[in-house]
Structure 1
Amino acid sequence: MNTPKKAQTRQAKIRDMLQKKDIINIQEFCEKLDVSIATIRNDLATLEKNGYLKRVLGGAISTEGTPRNTMYSSRVNLNKAEKKKIAEYAVTHYLRNDMTIVLDAGTTNHFIAEQILESDLSCRVITNAFNIVSLFSKVPNIEVISAGGKLDKDHNAFHDQDALYQLKKYHADIYFLSPNGIDINKMITSSAKDESEIKKFFISSAKKTVVVADYSKFGKSADYFLTNFASITCILTDDKLDNTTYKLLSKIVKIKCI
């Protein structure tokens, strides 16, 4: 019988498990705790409501005990293998020498930047991401244009009004958009207001916008609307995206599972 006391004990174990591992899927919770999928889903919903974790597609990540200045580094390592695959495909199939490329501060773009570095492309990169500026700072064949303003350490980004003002003079061949949520009804969304304004500008100023997002971003909706699917050239994701979502999206936007 699933008593309140048993639920509290189990939820404490879930929190402890998430402190030891970045992301855990529902099946692993079920096996470790010897309970049903429905029970785990109820536990995750309760813990998310109380601010202890965030549910992602098929599992959960912890939101506990993450210092402000390490939040980005925690996020960038989630689904790392999937992000690397997306990045490799993006650079190989969409970029060439002498292009002007926009990379926002989303975590998948960190791996696109690394892949650009490995590819030895000569290009111009416009970014509001602090780590990408640092990565390219000593690379002679890459011209870097960065936003100014105040650094938001939680998001590893410059995205206040000063940053937006600095960026408005530039246009690009392609923008790799790394969103927080992709939902068929609520479209493409971002979790931070200032960052959403920067991303909206990037969409309007680039000839092409390619969404780069691992499977965990689908079926999720963040607070701030970015764009509908009509403005998107293509969505690049990984092969863990469920088939139902893929079929629904493929009817309204070009989507590639890698």
Structure 2
Amino acid sequence: MSDHQAPGAPAGPQGLDDAAVARRVADAAGRALLAVRAEHAGASDLKARGDRGAQEVIAAELAALRPQDAVLSEEAVDDPARLDAERVWIVDPLDGTREFGEGDRHDWAVHVALWERGDLVAGAVALPALGRTLVTSDVGAPWREAPLEGRRPRLAVSRSRATDVVTGLARALGLDLVPLGSAGYKTSAVVLGEVDAYVHTGGQYEWDSAAPVAVARAAGLFTSRVDGSPLTYNRRDPLLPDLVVCRPELSDAILDHLSQTTTERETA
């Protein structure tokens, strides 16, 4: 996966490459969200204010830095022209609105990814409450500093709705469950070595996983659908309901169990 702009791609007014644009846009939205959180703490419409404010910032930044590119956002009307575009920014202005609305939680994120000619080529996941942004161009592989030897692997799961498939996976493989907030934070936790895998089967859209997957791939992690097929983006229907992100050495065991579970359900 390339972390740099494609040959001939517009450099933008500041001459930034695509990964730098992703970082700048995600950070700008993150600052806006922190300001909303501080100014409107406890407001009944805090989450709506956050979604709206972050979307406005992202739209303005991308219009200034990459005016020729298409955009697919959770918080904007889907323009079908993106299906014919060579470059599409896939964004989630606020991933984890529930956690954002709880003033003491940090496990929410901003997602900014670039899809180009069939692949994710750049991305950033901002974790504003932690003051940290993971970017494809310089993420490294911090997960390698948390070896598996001598401990049980850890599996990130939803705080409130871990599916039977995921809890069954944990039992079968001896994984410790770690409840966390947003999809972006769960994937970031794998990248950072705080957990070792994240498996989701409860329904998502492209903007939920595009930037996290771009960053995870850049960090050398395994990513796929739960059936092992590739994650593909900028499709007509943005529904992308399942996801596996894990250390490469866990991928075979995870996919084998998920395949067995699927077969058992189909023959039951």
With normalisation by structure 2, the TM-score equals: 0.27
Bigger RCO of structures 1 and 2 (CA < 8 A, at least 6 apart): 2
Instruction: Decide which structure has the larger Cα Rg and report it.
Output: 1
